[in-house]
Every structure is written in structure tokens, then in C-alpha cells.
Amino acid sequence: MRKEQRHKGWNEIKTNDSWAIFKIMGEFVTGFEKMSKIGPCVSIFGSARTKTDNKYYQLAVDVAEKIVQHGYGVITGGGPGIMEAGNKGAHLAGGTSVGLNIDLPFEQHDNPYIDSDKSLDFDYFFVRKVMFVKYSQGFVVMPGGFGTLDELFEAITLIQTNKIGKFPIILVGTEFWSGLVDWIKTTLLDSFQNISSGDIDLIHVVDTPEEVLSILDEFYNEFNLSPNF
């Protein structure tokens, strides 16, 4: 009897997994349809826990304003903290402000600075990450936690393996990122040779909005703006 119950339970799980495919497909279809209409955008990443009085919150606002003034829209994860700051800067500058929201049991709620027709909700992190990578012309990465690092290294890996076209990856905040970058250089590259020397060139570390825009403009003076895959 117990064996039959286990088989029944396993079959129910497999059936649920099969039906989940349609929900996943629905998220991809909705995302592709909406995101394909927004035009060139830059994604801003960072911690949801960053408070409004933190210097990096205001820096993210300033970066987003500069990005919009140079003709790009802004995409964020749609939540509070640095994500809110990015959308706020885009909103204040009168530009495209996109939020890719994720359903989480804690800390995630959409912020009020997202354009009403450009707020998308996702249940699956991997679908959401595809939207970031496919429709961003650059990643601006502010100080953050595990989620920020996940999105950063996902982009680096896809570019490194030629799964997507190269685009600028800009880390903002030398005091925050220098330790990680030093470890990449001394441990991953020099000590273990787990990456190539050219892989280091995929990332830039800066401290000001002007430096962010300089890197974006220099890159797109050479390459066309287009979806990444």
C-alpha cells in the first residue's frame, strides 16, 4: 500500500511538472511581447535592502538620470532599494522605466516609479533573467547581495562562452567591488588559471555617473544597439 501511495505521489509531481511548462511558456511569451517594444535600455542591479539615505541609493538615481538623458531606458528588478532608485532616476528624467518584478515570500514589492505599462511580474527567476540579458544594452551593477552577484556572473558567463553578444558590464563603487575584482585577478586568473586574461576586460569598475556613460557611449560608438540573442 505504501509503495502504491509513493508511486501515486510521484506521478502527481511529474504531472504538475508537465503542466508548469505552460506557465513558464506564458511568462516567456508575455515578457518577449512587452520587452520587444521598449527600445534600448540599460539594467541597473543592486540590493533591495539599500535605504534611501544610503549614498549608493542617490548614486543609482543619478546614474539612471544620466542614462535616460543619453537616450536609453532603465530596467530594474522592480523592487525597493537600488531597484527603486534606478526607476526613480529614470522617472525623474522622463525616460522609460521598466520593472521586472519577482514573486518572493519576503522583501520584494514593486516600487512606485515604474511606468504603469512596463511593470512585469514573474514567478521564475530564470525567465526573468532571460529578459534582463536579452533586452539590456548594458548592466550597471551597484552594491548588492547574492541576487546581484547571481545576475552579474550570469551575464559574464554568457558573454565569456559566446552565448550572447558582448555588452558593457559596469560595477559602480570601487570600495565595494575592489576586493572581488582583486580575488578574480589573483585567484581565478593568476593562481588557478580558471579564466583567461581577456575575461577581466569584460568588467569595468567606476565611481561616477559620468564614467558609466563614458563606457556606454564608447562601446556603442563601435557596436549597434540590438537584442542580445
pLDDT digits (tens, 9 = 90+) for 105-126: 775 678 999 999 999 999 999 9
pLDDT of residue 104: 82
Per-residue confidence at 228, pLDDT binned at 50, 70, 90? confident
CATH numeric code, 2-220: 3.40.50.450
Contacts by 126-133, CB closer than 8 A, 24 or more apart: 127/24, 127/27, 127/28, 127/31, 128/31, 128/77, 128/100, 128/102, 129/154, 130/28, 130/31, 131/31, 131/35, 131/100, 132/43, 132/75, 132/100, 133/158, 133/164, 133/228, 133/229
Mean pLDDT score of the chain:
93
Q: CB–CB of 133/154 below 8 Å?
A: yes
* Percent of the chain residues topping a pLDDT of 90: 84
Between 154 and 104, the higher pLDDT residue = 154
pLDDT of residue 12: 57
pLDDT of residue 1: 47
Whole-model pTM: value is 0.92
Q: For 39-181, where are the E strands, in sequence order?
A: 41-45, 73-76, 97-102, 119-122, 139-141, 169-172
| pLDDT over 90 at 8, yes or no | no
Q: CB–CB of 38/73 below 8 Å?
A: yes
pLDDT of residue 82: 98
| pLDDT over 60 at 69, yes or no | yes
The angle formed by the CA atoms of residues 199, 143 and 162, to the nearest 5 degrees, is 25
Could you tell me whether strands 169-172 and 41-45 are parallel, antiparallel, or unpaired per DSSP bridges?
unpaired
Give per-residue pLDDT as tens, 19-63. Answer: 899 999 999 999 999 999 999 999 999 999 999 999 999 999 999
